[in-house]
Amino acid sequence: MAISTDSHSVTAMQIYVEGKLVYQVNAASLNTYITLTPGNHYVVVKGWDSTGANFSKAVHVAMEPPCVLNSSNRTVTICTPGVSATVSSPVHLVAAANDSTPTQLMQVLVDGKKLNQVSTNILNVYLTNLAAGQHTVQISAQDTSSVWFSQSMSINVTNNAGLSNLRHIIYLVQENRSFDSYLGRLGQYRVNQGYSNNVDGIPLNATLYTSNGGAVQPFHYQTECTEGLTPSWNESHVDVNGGLMNNFLLTGLPSNIDPYNTRALGYYDWTDLPYVYSLAFNFGSSDRFFSPLESNTIPNRMYLFAGTSFGHVYTDPPPSGGWTKPTIFDHMDQAGVSWRYYYQDSSTYLTQWSTYSRDKSKVVPISQYYTDLQNESTLPSVIFIERASAIGLDEHPGQNIQKGAADAANIINALLKSPSWGSSAFILSFDEGGGLYDHVVPAMEIKPDNIAPKLHSGDQPGDFAHSGFRIPLVVISPWAKPHYVSHTWRDLTSILRLIEVRFNVPSLTARDAAADDMMEFFDFSSPAWQTPPSLPTQPQPPNGGTCDWNLEKAPGY
């Protein structure tokens, strides 16, 4: 829709996409639909007046579908929740219509009752006050030809029954790995174990292009360590490229070994990470778990602690005394919930928050974790384990991934063998994708607050209404559903929500308040893993794979 202003009569208005005329009307305004393919587009609206003069306005448009849509005409695709998913309230529902005729509205019907309607072909709503139990959700769309079409699915809204069985929630968040690069072959691993491939893993036939036009496809790394890439705000938004997810080779750090950044398309599998793959297979995982925003480590870890980065998109230095925004640890203090923060080296991020000055007695060395596990009655309700970046055990590119995975295995195995196992859940994840390839479009999210991104001049446009890239997730507990894969959108703030719901802790922001509480991963009717499964040893130096940056490039480069 566009309106012109001119002292002379406006005789025509035109729309150009990438310099090509796609629409014209002999009037002073226009109100129409144009079809755009996914990706970024340059759209110009031009007006002509009675003197022959023309004037124009240009806009950049990102046509980013919320998920891969059904290619058939007049179809609705439900992006989230997953089919037959167990979800918490509010229920985040995202769907989109594919129609050769413009879609003029979409409706949400739950158990036959209309609850929501939007005048667009993308629906992104949070349904509140749905009663616990099974529901049938139907998304109907109507196009400008008055033709209706729809898609239905069943969901189970949880009442969180049984959650009290979890007396301890433990979480460890490692560094800079996308789902595709780390667990992207989990589907094939499931097939190898006699299970179905129900994982949206790395597409081995995907082709991306280097800056000199060279074609690269995903490849199995021949080294357990590679040079790093850059997942910062600008590079991440360029990587997404309006939903095409095809610019990962065009952003990166200078390298004399891999100047075309082909390492962004590498992946590991069960031969490199046998412990993690077995863990993800036996317990619960997800192929729709995202980092909170499209940027690097620190802004994402701000969400992990505070449910927001309060505008920050870069690694900005904290003020004297630390960031004063309330953290999950502050809210647990106020709610009387016991917690402890275990550090492995000097990489203690909490020291950058004012929380630390009040609660430094709860920040203790990892050696105490192994002791504390032996007494379930005194083990804190919530435990955060800080990654070991300073000593190279955080699995960050640049480090030996097997060393970091072996460190995580030691921490997890200690729980599995302890008296605290039967009443605990351990969540293993990563903070962001690290600039490594992932083929799934970031998820639509609710903004945590009204603070806009603190961008610099020339930065890529963006907002806090979208997640970052997919990241690995494993939910480990005797109460975890065995061999489970979730397809429902969540990000790291769902860990906060699980803590909040379980221990009656107030939410921090609109983001964690609306986050799903992860009940889908548990079955509290009976503990499937009262006796933990047998897990393989995670190889590490000197008995692991080769660690040589010179082997990081894609075949042929």
For residue 497, give both structure tokens. 């929500």
pLDDT (0 to 100) of residue 269:
98
Task: Yes or no: say if 288 and 443 are a contact pair by the CB < 8 Å rule.
Answer: yes
Q: If residue 166 lies in a helix (H) or strand (E), which one and from where to where?
A: none
As a whole number of angstroms, the distance between CA 106 and CA 81 comes to 17
Taking only the tens place, the pLDDT of each residue in 361-373 is 999 999 999 999 9
| 3-class state of residue 98 by DSSP | strand
Whether 251 and 235 have beta carbons less than 8 Å apart is answered as: yes
What distance lies between CA 103 and its chain's CA centroid?
Answer: 28
User: Which pLDDT belongs to residue 23?
Assistant: 92
Q: Across residues 234-251, what is the average pLDDT?
A: 96
Mean pLDDT across 37-42: 83
Please compute the mean of the pLDDT values over residues 164-170 and round it to a whole number: 98
- Give the pLDDT confidence score for residue 149 in this predicted structure: 97
User: Which letter does DSSP use for residue 212 in this model?
Assistant: T
Cis peptide bond N-terminal to 81, omega within 30: yes
Do 399 and 225 contact (CB within 8 A), yes or no?
A: yes
Give the percent of the chain with pLDDT over 90.
Answer: 96
What burial letters (b/e) apply to 134-154, b meaning 16+ CB within 10 Å? ebebbbbbbbeeeeebbbebe
Residues 119-143 have a mean pLDDT of 96
Q: Which amino acid is at 6?
A: D
Residue range 81-88: mean pLDDT, rounded: 96
The pLDDT value given to residue 24: 94
DSSP string, 280-325: HHHSEEESSEE-SSSS-HHHHHHHHHHS--TT--S-PPPPTT-B-S
| Integer Cα distance of 438 and 185 in angstroms | 12
Integer angstrom CA distances of residue 227 from 36, 240, 261, 375, 546: 37, 21, 9, 42, 14
- If pLDDT is split at 50, 70 and 90, which confidence band does 156 have? very high
Q: Give residue-wise pLDDT tens across range 407-423.
A: 999 999 999 999 999 99
DSSP string, 367-425: HHHHHHTT-TTTS-SEEEE---TTTT-S--BTB-HHHHHHHHHHHHHHHHTSTTGGGEE
Q: Give the tens place of pLDDT for each residue, 431-451.
A: 999 999 999 999 999 999 999
Ranges 26-40, 162-176, 202-216, 384-398: which has the least confidence? 26-40
Give the three-class secondary structure for 345. coil
pLDDT at res. 339: 98
Give the residue among 42, 44, 41 at the shortest CA–CA distance from 13: 44
pLDDT (mean) for 317-342: 98
- DSSP assignments along 450-468, one per residue: SPPP-PPTTPPP--SSB--
**Per-residue confidence band for 40, with pLDDT thresholds at 50, 70 and 90:** confident
* Whether residue 549 has pLDDT greater than 90: yes
Q: How confident is the model at residue 296 (pLDDT cuts 50, 70, 90)?
A: very high
Domains and CATH numbers, the chain: 2-63 (2.60.40.10), 75-157 (2.60.40.10), 163-318+380-550 (3.40.720.10)
Average per-residue pLDDT for the chain? 96
pLDDT at position 477, please? 98
- Is the pLDDT at 392 greater than 90, yes or no? yes
Alpha carbon distance 212, 92 (integer Å):
42
Sign of CA dihedral 407, 408, 414, 417: negative
**Which residues face 58 on adjacent strands?**
44
Place of tokens 């070994």: 257
| Global confidence as pTM | 0.95
Nearest one of 187, 264, 194, 189 to 229, comparing CA atoms: 264
Residue 63 has pLDDT above 80, yes or no: no
C-alpha closest to that of 357 among 301, 316, 318 = 318
pLDDT at residue 60, rounded to an integer: 84
